[in-house]
Structure 1
Amino acid sequence: IDAGSSDNCSEVSFELSDTNLNCEDLGENMHEVKLWDENGNYDSTSVMITVLDTIAPTFIMCPESFTTMNCVEVTYDLPQAADNCGIEGITQTQGPASGSTFPQGTTQVSYEAMDVSGNTTTCSFEITLHNTLEVTQSVSDYSCDPENPYTATLTAGGGTEGYTYVWSTGTTTAQTILTAPSPWSWTVTDALGCEQTGEVDLPIPDTMSITLQATAATNMESNGAIEVTVTGGTGSYGYIWYDGDGNLLATTEDLTNIPPGNYCLEVTDENECIAQGCIEVENITSTIDRTLEQKITLSPNPTSSEVTISFDIPQQRATLILMDISGQEIRRMHKQKAADEVTMEMRDYAEGVYLMKIVVGDQLVVKKVMVTKQ
């Protein structure tokens, strides 16, 4: 305050007109200063006084750190602060707001209080989200039933009881049937919104099926045959053949050198799934040369539109029977004596293997026709 006041005879004393300064006087203020010497002489002047606030705010309530198991909404009391000159505001500087969803683990939350002079102070605390929900999964052995190949079960514990279950299959119970395609995912949620997720990934083999193709016997001799095609299933196959009376006949894949009659096959894969089928080996009384099969050709084969059956057997009628792979008749046509070829339309049939049965007199020839889609 004394900016060089002086007196010729003694020391100078001085006083301010107002020494009771407070927050209302923040900033620059003009004040009167009185000066006097030992002889009672006095003078006065005005000076500029700047009042500063350097005292930081104080948090009168800063939450304690705590642990929760609520995974949906975590709430806490908001911090409160006070200051000698007044609070400008309290701002959150770190962490989710009260009422938000918190991540699992420990999260630091911080708030900053600022007074009207820009002084600041910080309140920090930690919130730990502890998800104690535990889920175990179990899956049954593979079943040969294509509608129920596996059954999976979830067992929940810990957390807060009141569990809900959601499977990617659409099931909302702890147990579900797993059908193709895999994998299958699941989510378990407890009453406070804590979750555990998982996945089941197991192979589902294609359903096993068998196709039987018979070659007719001639003149009641044991010269017939059955060719087997197996698809789907798992691993290697086991074969059991039975004759028409149910007697065990063979354990080979195909049958050769067999007489006319009915035959049934049971195929088992490594999962002990079973496929069955039966077929008849016909008898043909033949007086025509066995080279007949070589005198009949099909082209184009494979085909996407039509197939032409050409005959090198002039002046003979023939019956043509188109069958599916199971032997079910689809279409029948006839070749007249004078014709040496017959064309059959195929474009309306699904892609796959078909059988063409050709009967010439008392002899039978069976050929495969492959239909493709371009």
Structure 2
Amino acid sequence: MNKSLNLASKIVAGFFVIALFLSNSADPPNGRTGAPGDGVCTSCHGGNNFEGHINILDLPSTVVSGQRYKMTVAVTNTDAKAVRAGFQLVSLFDEDFKNAGDYISQSSDSDVSKIGDRQYLEHRGPKNFEDNVATWIFDWVAPDVDEDTEITMYAAGNIANGGASSGDAIKFKEEKIKVQAASSTCDFSLNLNVNQISCFGANDGEVTIDPEGFQQPLKFEWSNGEKLFIAMAALSAGKYDITVTDGSGCSIVEAFEIVEPDLLEVSLRSKFENCDDLTMNSLVADVRGGTGKYTYKWNNGSSDEVLQNVTVGNYSVTITDESGCVAMDQYVFELKDKEPPVISFTDSVDLYIGADGTLDFTPLNLNETDNCGVASVLLSGNKSCNELSARNLNYKVTDVNGNVADASVYINGIIDTFPPTSPCREDIIQDGCSPVDYALPDFIDNCGIDTVLLIEGLASGAQFPKDSTKVTYEFYDFSGNSGTCTFYVVTNNNLMLEIDEVQDASANNGGSIMITAGGGTGVFNYEWIMNDTMVVSSFEDVSNLDPGSYVVKVTDGSGCVIHSEPITIELGSSTHDAAIQEVEIYPNPVNSVLYLEYTGTLMKANIVGFNGQFLNAVETGFASKTISINLESYASGIYFIQLFFDSEMQTLKFVKQ
């Protein structure tokens, strides 16, 4: 670092370094540092108030053009609530906001990318916090400049929750350094002797300059503004630099850092060596922080790290490190085991349900130990399987001396692979056709039945037809597992039906069907259905039928029902050539007058009701191809008009409003 400087061109330099800590991206987008011309990470991250900060460690306050420096990016989560972090760096000249210097990655957890002339160093995969700190090491080469150049430094950071980007916290920071132009080496040299801070929070750091080969007079300029001394004392933690100029006008800049150790702390805890004899116990001093080896001084004169065979009383220990820093703790000892059990388990797992409806907790790997023995273990919370959602259970362990340890165990979900079953029920046989009331079968599941569906047959309380009816229920548990149950309802009665005569339709006349119903009791009711959709008659025998498929349903006075097989009415032969006439009726639906337009020779036209009953004959004129029909006297409903041409018959439906 011993480079001479042109004193005539002292210009304060700066250095944009933006550290953006991203939590949910293996390759964060460039240009999100908040530097001039960049965006900011709050466009994607935010919504949390994690406590913490970011720092660029080992960053000199003054650097020399073309020199290479090793640095560390560190993010610290001071409230210990965040999960992981990432980063992004960029350095820019203040004069034109162009890239300044070159980044060099030192490991696979970071890499360099570019946008235009700007170079970004950023993480490759977020890094989890260790002791609430995440760090990345890299090298940076200062930019080549012919003269000292002004630059400003900015920093921004993201402390992440490890989940969605909306749960992160953004932090900002500003620093300054100098970039000095390289020149020929001065004829003299400097040696710095640095004494670091002795104890956390002290300001006793010192530095002494030892120049060699210089020309008088020497001038000093410290970064804290002092100019008269060759040494500095009472320094607090921080980064400093010293500029020394000899009588030849050549200057050397040396940077140094004063650091402080971690806070020296001690905490006492009791430890029982023999739970059957509580007088055989010890006090352990847990020490952290400070510098070097520790010395122990107990109030009973012992200097051991662990105080053995402790009896009832008040104890204290004083810890001194190699720098003379001191920490103390006190402890009131009783003849009682105060050490809680130690528990461990596997979190965030799925649990399976057994055939008996109980949860299998084996995947949790529950384990408990205690220095004097475990008295009881309790796993409480919602352990039922009538819902399958995630949940938290409480794992509580009590030792033989009443010490308790507990923890919350998170369950992802409940999995049930056992389908429901049913013994179903016996078939039902009855004489006559009264409604059949039957009890539903028993449906059995380890976690209960969620849904029961009738998918075939008739429900309880329905009137079943003659002979055998298949009834099938499908049932589901809360996991979607399913089963089925099938039984039969058999109705015995002597209701019978015979088809006496079937006449096909012709060009001039509709078809007809003659039947005979017998047996049963009381008066018979008839229902004729055409093509499985339209009821055309409620009489025993039917006529004026269009070509199609017909089924008759016969119901006796006791409610017994019998259906015929489908009966087909076809269009019989004609002496005329077959021809399909073009027919149009309008408007449809109709309020008062219905118009009929057709081609061919219309022989006659009839209006029939929805049940097939003849209602009215329509007058036709052979010369006219248009007929108007006044329907004002007709009630609202569905009607049919039968058209008999010389070579065919057509039936059209219309609606009277």
Q: TM-score range by the shorter chain?
A: 0.3 to 0.5
TM-score, normalised by the number of residues in structure 2: 0.22
